[in-house]
Structure 1
């Protein structure tokens, strides 16, 4: 088994739906390729050819490229995909809008290129544009779109799509194409596949029966890591348990819920509580053991390492020696597996000598210490110390933040200020709110904050996004200063709005961020809310500093 098979397995468990748009769906498979009528040209044909524009490329738009809808749907069903075939002919509906709306819930979209008698890919391109506009509004997503056509000119088709998308003012994300695919940085993949149309001599072309499996393989390429496989499998497991979870929430439970709501001082909190109950139930029903056994075993990790460009002999640990000089130490995939599964001690005892023999004799290659391995292990999978640090920051942000300014959720529901909110002001820098949760909806709107320091070395306590840098999300590493309680402050944001029960944080379109202003007209930008337990631990550490017992004692006998 290979890592690509792991990808396919995760993708096939996740993908449920497929939309195919084609203006020539037929009920039965073609026995042979469609033909056009051949006749001897007459005088009118010669005259028309003489006056035809010379710079217009030949087109096969008027040729018949039928789709075996029955065979396609059956093949998709056999793979567990629900497939819908849409015929765009006629003016009774807005096809781009309708398809883009349906595509919100579709995993795979396939489009014919030439539709509606002579259309040179305009309808297909418009559908793609509308789908991506909808995707951007939701914050981006994994998106596979296939052009399934009888037109053999893959390069020109993909170039035309890329040109149209990059010229669309409604789209912020630019796309790139390499002659094989069109992609962007938020999970888009557009591919071209040729219709076989009954012509068995076209070996590189695909029949409709082969198309669903081929597109599942392409969809699997969107999941390019072990963690993304785990994510797909976990979400798939949640989908599988959906109806079981729904059966637990009977109408009889509304009474206890209303009772709970009636006792709250700010009863809008009960809606958060309701959602939390559902999410907790879903989490408990996920078959974690099945996900782990398929995608997170030592064998799965080994397959992922084998698929990496460093495999099998070029995993390089980058580290700084005591003189701050960059050093490199090369390991093979067996070394890395031992380090991942059994730790440094086991590797040092069994694999170290073999690794030393493989080092370049022209370079000084001392064995890195345990601390250097612990600190720089991620560099084995990156090109440099800087790239590894960036990946570590991204992982820390993902695991420690509940929500942030880059979340699409807040376009509909503004964030709340409370325990774990990370804020920024141009005047004073970064702050962390440690207001007790129950007090965030009561009182005068005065909140307790501690300052945060930016850090470029060591292990940051908090990583949050703060705007963009060179069209990429900028992540900021922050640390809690020692004795932070001595630098704490209370910030008054005025009265809590009774209608919502909390201090509102509002989006500013000009500055592209979420802001709230205090009673002294100081403007704070909201960056993220930490996960509750993470914020609570920081608060607990601070209270432990405050409650340390200090008193005079006999110095020679004092415990060190």
Structure 2
């Protein structure tokens, strides 16, 4: 079994995605210095002066730390990477400010450790500046490489790790490994050694690369940050969008403005055309991505097989977790059979097991997802997170309301509110949620907490920033318990709408005209909300009457 197949998939997706890298090194030059003359044991006749010895030491240091910029840039370009090399001349330059600003738009960052002979002070400032900037933007895939002639790997990594306060380490979930630092949100800091003139301990020889090898090594390190099949799909999809961006722009040219203006002028609610403008662009983007075959290449049968091999870690079976009368059991499922189930579809078939007790049909409902997790609990959490990802448009922890822009949630179709432990779903028509000029009643139906197969899974943000998940269902005959709450509009996003207010702990509340507060839990994606409306309408439109029972159809 070749466990490198998925690594190849991951590297290919990362290579399509990554386009830019920036290198900061105060010893960057066109080519490395000439090698230092051979050192010989001094004799009375050949003894050097102290000045000569200092000169040799300086030359050795320059060779160890110099960077061949041209070779690095040329090699990066062969891989399709645009490489920018910054060579600061003095410590007084605003290196941190410029690099942090550039890093926001760069895929890979590489830094020298010893700049201006400051024992890593500048490098640490750069790393912290980049990491904190990313944190303000709710994290991102971030690879930072230290590329140095200093061979003290453990000292360098410990120095970087300890430069963050204990509270920041916890916030960032920083973990110090033998050869790297990891953090939440896709953060990885690695240390690599320059090759010319540097001798490293044998256990770190794999971390020594030349300038010609560095771009490819950094691509591999970048690929290692992403670990899932859907990560590859996301990388490839964004890469595809980047690739077709200029083609898309050429299609939506100035000649298209006239038809759009006529469309806006022709509809009753002219502002609804604004969303239509975005929808047609996104629709065309999806068509172009579909044409590139992203899903087939990165989520097809071959990709699935490769990913399951990695999950199995070389074993020929996967663990199926289930419970019987409250007692946990593990059954062994053949990897080949699991692959067939995922690729071909389960279609009400069941895995075959040799050991006893075997999972029964009831065990499948709860236990099947655990094949790809370490326990039923982990599988449940993963299932809830995925369900939330597919069904929730926004919640209090979303980036859109925590990016410093001051944006506020507005009451709309799909908004979920909580009051006194009760959950309410807003089903106000979209056109009646904007341009609300006077106090207006909004239509709500009740939702109940669901412990099994919920219709909606909503992330709940705690005051400490942790996330739990709650399942919610439209209660039976919800239309009989529907209510309306009346709210006063305010000016929000250049339109009169009912907007929430931010609370002290980072949440949001809507206040009705009676002074009652409703906690904003989140917004469903539009199609999810529309499906609830359709379900409610179907319940209301049922026709009930007596008819001749023998001939009842």
The residue that corresponds to 2:535 in the other structure is: 541
Q: Secondary structure at the match of 1:244?
A: helix
Alpha-carbon separation, structure 2, partners of 1:175 and 1:367: 39
Residue 83 (structure 1) shift: 0.2
- Whether the 8 Å contact between 1:226 and 1:296 is mirrored in structure 2 is yes
Tell me the equivalent position of 1:472.
Answer: 466
Q: Please say if residues 318 and 376 of structure 1, whose CA atoms lie closer than 8 Å, have aligned partners that are also in contact.
A: yes
User: CA shift at 1:237, angstroms?
Assistant: 0.7
Gaps of 5+ in 2: 54-59
Distance change (3 Å), C-alpha of 1:96 and 1:250: same
Give the equivalent residue in structure 2 for 1:382: 373
Which residue of structure 2 aligns with residue 461 of structure 1? 455
Question: Contact 2:487/2:498 (CA < 8 Å) preserved in 1?
Answer: no
Equivalent position of 1:429 in the other structure: 422
The answer to whether the 8 A contact 2:425-2:447 is kept is yes
Q: Within 2, Cα distance between the matches of 1:92 and 1:375?
A: 61
Secondary structure in 2 aligned to 1:533? helix
In structure 2, relative to structure 1, the CA distance for the partners of 1:442 and 1:490 (3 Å cut) is farther
Describe the SS at the equivalent of 1:295: helix
- Matches of 2:543 and 2:460 in 1, distance apart? 39
- 1:255 alignment partner in structure 2: 258
1:519 aligned counterpart, secondary structure: coil
Per-residue deviation, residues 468-516 of structure 1 (Å, max 9, x unmatched): 3875322222111111111211111124548733424345262212322
1:72 to partner: Cα distance: 0.4
The residue number in structure 1 matching 2:126 is 127
Partners of 1:498 and 1:221 lie apart in 2 by 43
Partners of 1:13 and 1:128 in 2: how far apart? Answer: 25
Counterpart in the other structure of 2:408: 414
**Farther-moved stretch of structure 1 (90-99 vs 333-342):** 90-99
Q: TM-score, normalized by length of structure 2?
A: 0.87
Are the aligned partners of 1:268 and 1:500 in contact in 2 as well (CA < 8 Å)?
no
Residue 200 to residue 80, structure 1, CA distance change in 2 (3 Å): farther
Matched, 1:245 2:248: yes
User: Are 2:416 and 2:521, in contact at CA under 8 Å, matched by a contact in 1?
Assistant: yes
Q: Deviations over 1:290-313 (max 9, x none)?
A: 323422222221111111145433
How many equivalent pairs are there?
529
Give the Cα–Cα distance (whole angstroms) in 1 for the partners of residues 440 and 501 of structure 2. Answer: 19
- Which deviates further from its counterpart, 447-456 or 309-318? 309-318
Q: TM-score, normalised by structure 1?
A: 0.86
Query: d(CA) in 2 for partners of 1:329 and 1:278?
Result: 49
Contact 1:61 1:114 in 2 (8 A): no
Closer/same/farther in 2, CA of residues 201 and 286 from structure 1, 3 Å limit: same
Q: Cα offset for 1:449?
A: 1.0
Q: Which moved more, 1:467-476 or 1:208-217?
A: 467-476
Change in 2 beyond 3 A, CA 1:200/1:73: farther
- Note the C-alpha offset of 1:42: 6.9
Report deviation, 1:433.
Answer: 1.0
**Local SS of the residue matching 2:462:** strand
CA deviations 1:497-541 (Å, max 9, x no partner) are 487334243452622123221112122232322222111111111
Instruction: Tell me how large the CA RMSD over aligned residues is.
Output: 3.1
User: Secondary structure, in 3 states, of the residue corresponding to 1:416?
Assistant: coil
Q: 1:162 to 1:551 in 2, by over 3 A?
A: same
Aligned runs of 1:164-243 on 2, under 5 Å?
164-166=163-165, 172-197=171-196, 204=206, 205-243=208-246
Match of 2:13 in 1: 10
**For residues 41-93 of structure 1, what are the alpha-carbon distances to aligned partners after superposition, in whole Å with 9 as ceiling and x for unaligned?**
879x9xxxxxxxxxxxxxx9888510110110011000000000001222564
Unaligned runs of 5+ in 1: 46-59
Q: 1: CA distance between counterparts of 2:71 and 2:336?
A: 46
- Going from structure 1 to structure 2, the CA distance change for 1:481 and 1:168 (only over 3 Å counts) comes to closer
1:317 to 300, 314, 320: 320
> Structure 1 residue 365 and structure 2 residue 360: aligned?
no
Aligned match for 1:438, one of 421, 431, 434: 431
CA contact (8 A) 2:396 2:508 kept: yes
